[in-house]
Amino acid sequence: MLTEHILQRLASIVGPEHVATGTVDRITHSFDATQQQFLPDVVVHPGTTEEISRIVQLANEERVPIVPRGAGSGFTGGSLPIHGGIVLVLTRMNRILEIDPDNLIAIVEPGVVTGHLQKEVERLGLFYPPDPASKDFSTLGGNIAECAGGPRCVKYGVTRDYVLGLTVVTPTGSVIHTGGRTMKNVVGYDLTRLLVGSEGTLGIVTQIILRLLPKPEARKTMLVAFASIDGAAQAVSAIIRGKIIPTTLEFMDGAAIDCVRRAARIDLPLECRAVLIIEVDGDRALLAGQAQKILDIVRPLGVLETRTAETAEESEAIWRVRRSVSPSLRALNPHKFNEDIVVPRSRVPEMIRLLEAISARYGVPIVNFGHAGDGNIHVNVMVDLDQPDMKDTVRRVLDEIFRTAVGLGGSVSGEHGIGTAKAPYIAMELEQPTLAAMQAVKRALDPNNIMNPGKIFPPDIAEHTGCAASPPPSLDPYHA
């Protein structure tokens, strides 16, 4: 528990109406999308960089853990207060400060919801591409902390590719500015890139300079049904080899199609075992040709059917198939382990085959879908944890999946981050000197380990380097 003295100082910084210590408020800020729960001691809603700086100084002096929180929609525990302390909610700081069409930038506060910014810039014919599935509710601050991705990353890249500069309160309470308003800037270390994806462990972002693009004039959506996953996977490589980068290149495997089929009527050939949803965007005049070229490339690869949307409604109908996958999974089994491994694009077919082998070997359903175009596969291990020994089986299955991905030159997480959920697997991918370099950075910026402690680095590694305390949970099921 925090002392009365600390609570009083917090209240004097942000005003008593923005400090809550009651059980109700602590409970409503105890969780994120991992469904794990840890009670904070106090919930604070700051309104300015200055207030945040003073709060962090206080936390640092008093050695109180402090956890920044946006929408609390992360999948890996980044905003969980696993050691209690202060949860700092940034939703009050939700202003779009500037949209500059001449320099193609936007300046925003961290609490701005990603989809809201997209809507506002698109009114002006501009475009902010990163589109995580949560974009209608997740915040830009959270997107930066996790370096969020999304389907459009195939062509446009991820959040880090659109961050030009940041205002950050460091773990000792200093206010620093990284990058700036220009595309080119090589002055000093690139702290912007260091902070994007740092999961709130190196500081609290309080202002963001984002790069914008002109909005593409039009887009075209296609659905291609394949007789086998191999055909679909080869199609991905063939399209890229054909020197076309689609906006999105999403895939669903046979298990995913079966789930959707069970939940709703979908209009797909019965023998269809894989689907690609391909979207291209750009000048209207060029799209038809691009779409045709893609269809020509994929046609020899066991294609059963192709469908090209002519209207916005038809495009929406295609995307509805893809979006109905997640909700339909729960019919399979009550518990879902949703991993977001990534492998080099060319290794996607191999990875899918190995996943199918793992599924068969352990007798657990694994449903795969996701961003085939950039190799980011959402692997959903569907189990019933109430079955005997299932927890142990899941552990071994996940372990094997991650080892396989890393073995193919991939990563254990493409866009969800590490947090607490993936911390046990980080050492599979990063060798000891790399981890040590990262922890040296953490210690230099956060000598008292108050800034979102216990994240990224697993307890055994963190303990003798002073970057964590008690063990976080190692097995996080999602109720499907």
Partner 1 sequence: MLKDKALEHFQDEIAQCVRCGACQAHCPVYLETGREGSVARGKIVLAAALLAGEIGLDERLREEIGLCLLCGSCTAKCPNKVPTDAIVAAIRRRITENQGLSVLGRGVAALTGGSKPLLGALVKGADLLAPLLFTNIPEASSLRLRFAPAALKDRSLPPLPKRNLFARVPEFLEGDATQPVVGIFAGCALTHLYPHVGEILVRLVHRLGCSVFLPRTQGCCGMPATSSGNGPLVASLAKANAGAFAGRALDCILTACASCHAMLTGYSPATVHWPAAELVDIHVFLLRQGLGKQLAARPKWPHRFRVAYHDPCHLRAAGITRAPRDLLRALPQADFVDMEDSALCCGLGGTFAAAHPDLSRAIGDRKVAGLRASGAAVIASGCPGCILQLQDIIDRAGLAVRAMHTLELIDQALTGPPP
Contact footprint for partner 1 (CB under 8 A): 22-25, 27-35, 37, 45, 71-73, 89, 91-92, 94, 111, 113, 115, 134, 136-138, 326-327, 330, 478-480
Beta strands in 150-308 (DSSP E): 163-169, 175-179, 204-211, 213-214, 218-226, 248-253, 274-282, 303-308
β-strand partners of 280: 220
- Choose between 72 and 254: whose C-beta lies nearer to partner 1: 72
What lies within 8 Å, CB to CB, of 339 at 6+ separation is: 378, 379, 380, 381, 398, 401, 402, 412, 413
- Choose between 31 and 362: whose C-beta lies nearer to partner 1: 31
- Choose between 33 and 88: whose C-beta lies nearer to partner 1: 33
Instruction: In angstroms, give the least distance from the CB of 34 to partner 1.
Output: 8
| Residue 68 DSSP SS3 | strand
Other CB atoms within 10 A of residue 128 CB: 26
Instruction: In angstroms, give the least distance from the CB of 349 to partner 1.
Output: 30
Cα(133)–Cα(143) distance, integer angstroms? 11
Instruction: In angstroms, give the least distance from the CB of 19 to partner 1.
Output: 13
- Choose between 91 and 474: whose C-beta lies nearer to partner 1: 91
Cα(289)–Cα(306) distance, integer angstroms? 16
Other CB atoms within 10 A of residue 287 CB: 18
Instruction: In angstroms, give the least distance from the CB of 232 to partner 1.
Output: 25
Instruction: In angstroms, give the least distance from the CB of 3 to partner 1.
Output: 22
Given a contact cutoff of 8 angstroms between Cβ atoms, the answer to whether 200 and 145 are in contact is: yes
Instruction: In angstroms, give the least distance from the CB of 31 to partner 1.
Output: 5
- Choose between 110 and 375: whose C-beta lies nearer to partner 1: 110
Q: Which residues of 24-37 are buried (b: 16+ CB within 10 A; e: fewer)?
A: ebbeebbbbbbebe
Instruction: In angstroms, give the least distance from the CB of 188 to partner 1.
Output: 35
By CB neighbour count within 10 A (0-12 exposed, 13-18 middle, 19+ buried), where does 5 fall? Answer: exposed
Cα(43)–Cα(64) distance, integer angstroms? 13
Cα(269)–Cα(408) distance, integer angstroms? 32
Instruction: In angstroms, give the least distance from the CB of 333 to partner 1.
Output: 14
| Residue 461 DSSP SS3 | helix
- Choose between 137 and 362: whose C-beta lies nearer to partner 1: 137
- Choose between 32 and 415: whose C-beta lies nearer to partner 1: 32
- Backbone angle region of 23, left / alpha / beta, with phi > 0 → left and psi within -120 to 50 → alpha: alpha
- Choose between 84 and 246: whose C-beta lies nearer to partner 1: 84
Instruction: In angstroms, give the least distance from the CB of 111 to partner 1.
Output: 7
Cα(40)–Cα(30) distance, integer angstroms? 6
| Residue 171 DSSP SS3 | coil
- Choose between 134 and 439: whose C-beta lies nearer to partner 1: 134
